[in-house]
Structure 1
Amino acid sequence: MHSVKRLLASHPQIWWWVATILLLALLAGLFQFERRISSAITSLNNEHLNLLSLGNSEFNRQLGDIRNSTRLLDTHIQDLLNEKPSRAASSVFRRVGSTLENVSQLRWLDLDGQEQIRINFSGFSFDLVDKEKLQNKSHRPYVKAIQQSLPGTLLLSRMTLNKENGQVVIPYEPTIRAMLHTAPTHPMGEGFLIVNFRQTELMIFLKSLSSPNSILLMADDTPQWVLHPELQKLWSGKVGGPGVDIEDAWARLASNNAVSMFVAKDLRIFSISKLAIHLSEDAQRTQTLFFIAETPASFYLELRRQALIPASITAAIILLIGAIALYRELITSYRIKMLGTRLKHEKAELQQALALQEQLREELVEIEKMASLGMLVSGVAHELNTPLGAVIMSVSSQQSRLHDLKKQIESGLRKSALDDFLQQSDTSIQLALSNLQRASQLIKRFKRLSVDRSSEHITHFNLLQNASDIINAMGPQLKNSPVELKLDIPKSIYLTSYPGIVSQVLQNLINNSLTHAFSPGQHGIITISANRQDDRVIISIKDDGNGIDPSVADTLFDPFVTSGRHKGNSGLGLHLIHQWVTQVLEGQIHVAAADGGGTVFTLNLATRVKEAKDGSQRSVNS
């Protein structure tokens, strides 16, 4: 107890820690609570969106079917009447209307709105209305609308309940009327073909879309309920309706085209979307329907109760962890002072080790660069053997012919012998001169490479020439390899950068592909291509080899990482490339699997490297 008091006295800030732990526990509990609520709401939102989308798409599909069916019915009527003009129009209407189950009524009205034919359909039965019972419908809004249209126009009425003789048909039959203004050339003459499409099956289907957590409701712009689980609320716009039943959610539509996951005052959750029905094909007449996904308040209450349990557990765990951490902090705090001196000593040793490591690293970098240059020297020496050997042979042959000429002069020189000597001498001199020029070009290329790599100055140079020099210098190495090297670099690309570093990067990447990408004796192709994009140059080195070893794929540019340690590789090549590209050439390097197999290294370099701010050139010995 005394030791605890002493610890508390030595840590007066402990009460701040306690307050912090309590605050963290509260925040963690709230975060867990909100996360659970948010996750469930997101899932519910997807459910709502699915319900609304299905409702919208099904209703639009039904409207399309109505338009198409109406025109098909008219075409069928015309075909039957034209086929046999003596055929009674009523029998044709009866025959055509029976083909569609959702047709409840088929009528023909003259231009004054007077019914000429009316047939009622119920299932597969029909009822031809007597002429004395036919009515004049010119006072009905939908008839007035079609009377004002041109022949060929197809209009749809608003979805309403079907009425007969002024009375609503019971049970309710939601109906959409399709009205077609026929042309004077129609067998029935100019008039109006009106088809009542019963939407009862559609309403049943939309009602079936409801899920365990949500139900789908539907209202029109009266507003009144068109689809609702309580039958007494259907089509009762004068009393109740969505403006009363879901007052706060419905009110949000005044300033929004849609409502998403709105939690009402009674904790019910609503999502509402509008559907504008085009009653005419020119979209001038419309009716607005509202599809509403509703989730009961019990779901939200249960959701909060379920979210409160893990939130409380989370807060309790944070409190427990905080208490344990605080206790351990109090017990172990005094050890920190004892470790201070020890840490300082270890820090000094670590700094010495880091300095030594940096020195060794710089030496390894120089060794790597000298090894690359040595490989180039070996290649150039090998390449020089051929032209110099040819020169020696030409000069030696010429010397032998000159000796023979001297003898012939002493014994009496013939003109034919002199002509032969001159011809052979010209050939030998041309051969010697050609091979000396070839040797001169090799020496110039090597000189360019050696000067570039020893220089730390920014130079304006041609990228194709730079790449060609390094490939020519690596000629002997490539000749002994079954791998073919291809260049695809435009002559017009120039860089103001470090040519030695660029050639060093290209050489290291080519050597990397030759060493790691192909198995011994495996044929392949390495392609170096480049293109300019504004002030950047994109260079790709692509091979069709075996790809990258998965064991080193994630650490490819780290120092001393290699899959070829058994071959004597140091693992510094790609690391140096990464350092040069990012720190000296102001670029980036990326590696990826090539299409069709193999590996592609992509360099994104600046076309003009900036000088250091102090006016000096930045060090290329990275």
Structure 2
Amino acid sequence: MNWRRQKIDSAHKNGVDEDIQKFKRKYLVFGAVIILLAVLSGVMLYNSIKGERITQLRERHEEQITLAAIDINRELGDIGNTVRLLSTDSDILSSLSPFNQLNTLRLKTIFKQFGRAIDNLLQIRWLDDTGHEQVRINIVDGKVHAEPAEMLQDKSNRYYFQNAMKVFPPEIYISPIDLNIEHGEIVKPLQPVFRIGLQTTATKGMRRGLLMINYDLTHLIKKIRSLSSGETEVMWVDAWGNWLLHPDPSLEWGAILGKSKNSLTQLDPLLWAKINSGENQIIMPHNGELISTRHIALSFTEAPTVAESIYMLVRTPKKVMEEIEWSAIKPTLLLVIGILLIGGRILWRDYTMQQSLQKMTLRLACEKNELKFLNSELDNALSKQQLLQNELVETRKLSSLGMMVAGVAHELNTPIGGAIMAESTLQSSHDSLKKALDEGLSRQAFDNYISNTEEGLKLVESNLTRAAALVKSFKRLALDRANDEIVSFNLDQVVSDLIYTLTPKLKNSGTRIVNEVNTELMLAGYPGIVSQILQNLIINALTYGTEGMQQGEIIVQAELNEEWVVLSVSDNGKGIPPELRESLFDPFVTSGRGLGHTGLGLHLVHQWVTNLMHGQIKMEALSRGGTRFVIYLPKNIQSSQS
């Protein structure tokens, strides 16, 4: 009996030892898995935190570049309107008439009036076709005075005169940003300027020459310099790589001040080469820094021998990037340590539970409960995913509407600025008339007042009419997109309003939109969704199809058959790569991932057309090149639902 007991005990002991070895091997594997999980989780958290901060910095870069570009374009537009308004002044036309003697006295008077009315002007002058100044007005500290005849200079050898004479009306020449130079000496303190010139020609009833304005950029540069923050630095570089705006003022204006080594081309030729390789891009990393760039053309003309430009840079210094990395490393280390501690604790507890069958049963029960919890978490995750998808759709709508708001606001700036300028001219004419009444009103003064008033009122009416049309169009578009009820609407009106609000995006794209929709075509449905569908297709065509083309064309057509309204958007661009055609309407499919595109645009279009509008959509590759999207919509959505 004892022998059998000893044999059973020995067998039992051997079995226990074997189980212990199995447990050890099992927990060694579990320990390795926990370590691997901790490392992978740490890497994911690190990349997530760092990626989010980089994304925020990129958005801040884009915001600062956009604000600076808006300020520059606003200044260009305002001063361009000033030159055009100056060139249409009846007194200037009369004074510069080739049939009359050059009336320099009258020119000085008109130039003085403009010098007092317009801020930030340094000089107004008229040069003859040989480059000699005939009339020149200087504005210093708000005081306006005419330069004596003996102080007038020969500017025929200056680059801005030579380039401006190559630009023919109605185009306006805008010089590179430069420092103001008088009598061969740089004016101190430094005055950054650009010069705006408009040719006077016989075709406009004037002597051939050049109307030119020197515009002070000190206030603009100060405003853009203030955009810099602790994490970002805003900089300007001209077309030759010279710093115009830099956090270190000693590097600015290097070439002009005789410090040619203080330029981007000398200090960082690799960065300069990257900037020249594209108009808008994000350069990262570059010496541990995050840099965003944008190319801005200053001149209104496209003549390559005349056009001038600058580069806008926003830089996040290396120190800030290192702080971002460290801010991502700290929570990552805490997560890894936490996972290891928690995992080790779980392993130890589980090991002790294996000592008895009861603890094993308890462990199995816990695992069952954990499975239920995971299933519940999965259900919650699916619900959150659906909510996230809906939020993405709404975000895309708001993003599109926001782009249009920015475009309409930019478009409104020009007519409203023109109206304000015309009102200022009318006020000046009114003051002149009052003065003439006190001193003795002449027939010529009264005729001049009537002529100036008529022209000013026409200009005010034209600009305000355009502003009202922009507001009216955008109001219709915004109301349509806010309305989720089925209404009757005119398809041509929806297309026209959309094209109107996309005008700012089309201006420098080289692409035009042709509306061939029947003006009498009426539908019952969701005009805001139709507008959103067309906007996504048009923006896709601009971004991927006609980008970089000089004669791009997007055609919107619609026709009515017995059951459907057939709506199409076609372009003459590059076409869609064959590898993307089969999955074109799938979510997150895009060839512009490197540009920050999500690939949701065409997926949302497909969802709106098929699920909401109860229609169909297909893509066709055109034999002549380009792409055509064809959409079949029921004429009356209510009847299709029934």
TM-score by length of 2: 0.49
What's the CA shift string for 1:5-37, capped at 9, x where partnerless? 876412323322212211111121222222111
Once residues 603 and 321 of structure 1 are traced to their aligned partners in structure 2, the CA distance between those partners, rounded to angstroms, is 56
Cross-structure match for 1:243 = 265
- Structure 1 residues 208 and 144: alpha-carbon distance in aligned structure 2, compared to 1, 3 A threshold: same
Q: Which has the larger radius of gyration?
A: 1
- Matching residue of 2:293: 272
Report the alpha carbon displacement of residue 83 of structure 1 after superposing the two structures with TM: 13
TM-score (norm 1): 0.50
Instruction: Give the stretch that moved more between structures: 111-120 or 71-80.
Output: 71-80
Partner SS state of residue 117, structure 2: coil
Counterpart residue identity of residue 81, structure 2: N
Separation in 2, partners of 1:38, 1:88: 64
Q: CA contact under 8 A between 1:108 and 1:118: conserved in structure 2?
A: yes
1:307 aligns with 2:320: no
Report 1:106-121 matches (<5 A).
106-121=124-139
**C-alpha separation in 1, matches of 2:20 and 2:272:** 60
Q: Which runs of 5+ in 2 are unaligned?
A: 1-12, 366-562, 567-609, 614-637
Offset of 1:146 from its aligned partner? 3.2
Query: How many residues are treated as equivalent by the alignment?
Result: 353
Matches within 5 A, 1:98-497: 98-150=116-168, 152-184=170-202, 189-237=207-255, 238-260=260-282, 262-265=284-287, 267-280=288-301, 285-332=306-353, 335=357
Taking a change above 3 Å as real, the CA distance of residues 192 and 591 of structure 1, as seen in their structure-2 partners, is closer
Do the aligned partners of residues 262 and 82 (structure 1) sit closer, same or farther apart at CA in structure 2, a change above 3 Å counting? same
Q: Distance in 2 between matches of 1:204 and 1:182?
A: 33
Measure how far apart 1:339 and its partner are.
Answer: 6.6
What residue in structure 1 maps to residue 50 of structure 2? 37
Q: 2 CA distance for matches of 1:149 and 1:533? A: 48
Residues of 2 paired with 1:132 and 1:9: CA distance? 108
CA shift, 1:251, in A, is 3.6
Instruction: After TM superposition, give the deviation of residue 107 of structure 1 in Å.
Output: 1.2
Contact 1:146 1:155 survives alignment (8 Å): yes
Task: Check 1:278–1:304 CA distance in 2 against 1; reply closer, same or farther (3 A cut).
Answer: same
Specify whether residues 143 and 311 from structure 1 end up closer, same or farther in structure 2 by C-alpha distance, changes over 3 A only. same
Shift in CA distance, 4/307, structure 1 to aligned 2, threshold 3 Å: farther
Conservation of the 8 A alpha-carbon contact between 2:172 and 2:196: yes
How far is the alpha carbon of 1:292 from its aligned partner? 0.9
In structure 2, the CA distance between the partners of 1:194 and 1:83, relative to structure 1 (3 Å rule), is closer
Alpha-carbon separation, structure 2, partners of 1:191 and 1:51: 39
Distance (Å, rounded) in 1 between the aligned partners of 2:209 and 2:565: 68
SS of 2:190 mapped into structure 1: coil
SS at match of 1:271: strand
**What is the deviation of 1:303?**
1.9
Offset, 1:297: 2.1
Q: State how far apart, in whole Å, the 1-side matches of 2:612 and 2:127 are.
A: 76
- 2:70 partner letter: S
Contact 1:108–1:191 (8 Å) recurs in 2: yes
Report the 3-state secondary structure (helix = DSSP H, G, I; strand = E; otherwise coil) of the residue aligned with 1:311.
Answer: helix
Q: 1:18 to 1:71 in 2, by over 3 A?
A: same
Counting aligned pairs with the same residue, the percent is 27
State the partner residue of 1:489.
none
The one-letter code of the counterpart of 1:296 is P
1:369-415: CA deviation from partner (whole Å, max 9, x where unpaired): xxxxxxxxxxxxxxxxxxxxxxxxxxxxxxxxxxxxxxxxxxxxxxx
Q: Does 2:108 align with 1:90?
A: yes
1:156-186 alpha-carbon deviations (Å, 9 max, x no partner): 2222111111111122211111111113376
Secondary structure of the equivalent of 2:297? strand
How far apart, CA to CA, are the structure 2 residues paired with 1:337 and 1:309? 38
Task: Give ranges in structure 1 of 5+ residues lacking alignment.
Answer: 344-530, 535-588, 593-599, 605-622
Retained in 1: the 8 A contact 2:243–2:252? yes
Alignment of 1:556-575 (within 5 A): none
1:46-88 deviations in Å (ceiling 9; x for gaps): 1111111111121122111121111112233636957999863
Q: CA deviation at 1:124?
A: 1.9
Look up the match of 1:28: 41
Contact 2:93/2:206, CA 8 A, preserved across alignment = no
Alignment deviations for residues 473-513 of structure 1 (CA, whole Å, 9 cap, x no partner): xxxxxxxxxxxxxxxxxxxxxxxxxxxxxxxxxxxxxxxxx
What secondary structure does 1:117 align onto? Answer: strand
Q: How far apart are 1:134 and its partner, in Å? A: 1.6
Once the two structures are superposed, residues 82-119 of structure 1 have per-residue CA deviations (whole angstroms, 9 ceiling, x without a partner) of: 79998633223222222212110111111211111122
Do the aligned partners of 2:173 and 2:197 also contact (CA within 8 Å) in 1? yes
